[in-house]
Amino acid sequence: MAQVVTLAVLVAVVGMPHGGLDHRFGRALLRPALGPQWSIVFVASYLAVMMVVVAGWWWLPGLTVAGFVILSAVHFGLTEDRCDAPIGLVRSALFGGMVVWVPALFWPAEFSRLLTWVIPHSSGGAEIIVAPAFQTMLAAMLPITLAWAFATSLWCGIRVMVFIVLFAVTPPLVSFALYFCGWHSGIELYRLSRQANPHNVWSGLARVVRAAIPLASLAVVMIAVGGWVVARDRPLTPALVQTIFIGLSVVAVPHMLLHWMAIRRNLNPFAEIDS
């Protein structure tokens, strides 16, 4: 229970703010082509993607969780990719997906139990995690991942090796919190801070936090309310786990799609708005 509560607090306080600038990225992306109408298109598109994710969790939960994991791996992999020279989509997704597949290898029973909690209307569907063939495949990915990482750069290899050890020895919820809040969100907040003020990262961070508070706070409230509605009749710990991951996916999928487009176009949300 303590792990779940800690994860919820860390995601709300540390994880959400780096996604709280999506409206600025949306403006930087859409305003040049749409002018003042950019906000209507942005809000409508963002909400439409969120509704699709909600419907997916309700009607096709297995497919939705698989799609969310793959999209998250690619998104996390873009952070890894930007720490090195470009490493390509496949390796980037492999490295970004370590936070999922390494715990599934070393903590199969715990990972399977968490997956059962996450998927709505299901007490099963997670048996594949503990299947010998699936575990063999995951084990084969370890040397491949390490070899690719060290072939990319020494720093990449060391970083990937440290993450593998962390995910192998730490319970899945704890390792996810450390990776998502301590590494992924931290790196993204640092980059945003440099964009906000290239000359003073602390001043830039303050600016990022001020700009992110409204949207990040709204996302936290939406997740809390949605979690109460969906999981109010379930035991507290499974309900919290389901709320965190379904809520994260609902706000994260449009965020990840938007940031993929922003990275491809090298957008600075502050430079466009301030110009």
What per-residue confidence (pLDDT) applies to 237?
A: 66
What per-residue confidence (pLDDT) applies to 274?
A: 44
The residues, ordered by sequence, that sit 6+ positions from 47 with a Cβ below 8 Å of its Cβ are none
What per-residue confidence (pLDDT) applies to 105?
A: 94
What per-residue confidence (pLDDT) applies to 136?
A: 92
> What letter represents residue 69's amino acid?
V
Predicted model pTM: 0.81
What per-residue confidence (pLDDT) applies to 14?
A: 60
What per-residue confidence (pLDDT) applies to 5?
A: 54
What per-residue confidence (pLDDT) applies to 275?
A: 42
Q: What is the residue-level pLDDT of the chain in tens, covering all 275 positions?
A: 555 555 555 565 566 666 788 888 999 999 988 988 999 999 999 999 999 998 998 888 888 888 898 888 888 888 776 666 555 678 778 888 999 999 999 999 888 888 887 776 654 556 778 788 889 999 999 999 999 889 888 888 999 999 999 999 999 988 988 898 888 888 888 888 998 999 999 999 999 988 888 877 777 776 666 656 555 565 556 777 777 788 888 888 999 899 888 888 888 888 755 44
The residues, ordered by sequence, that sit 6+ positions from 166 with a Cβ below 8 Å of its Cβ are 175, 178, 179
- Cα 32 to Cα 29: distance, rounded to the nearest angstrom: 7
What per-residue confidence (pLDDT) applies to 19?
A: 73
Using the 8-state DSSP alphabet, how is residue 130 labeled?
A: H
Tokens of 181: 């809040």
Q: What are the backbone angles phi and psi of residue 114, rounded to the nearest 5°?
A: -65, -40
What per-residue confidence (pLDDT) applies to 268?
A: 85
The residues, ordered by sequence, that sit 6+ positions from 164 with a Cβ below 8 Å of its Cβ are 98, 102, 142, 145, 146
Q: What is the pLDDT of residues 54-67, one digit of tens each?
A: 899 888 888 888 88
What length is written for the chain? Answer: 275
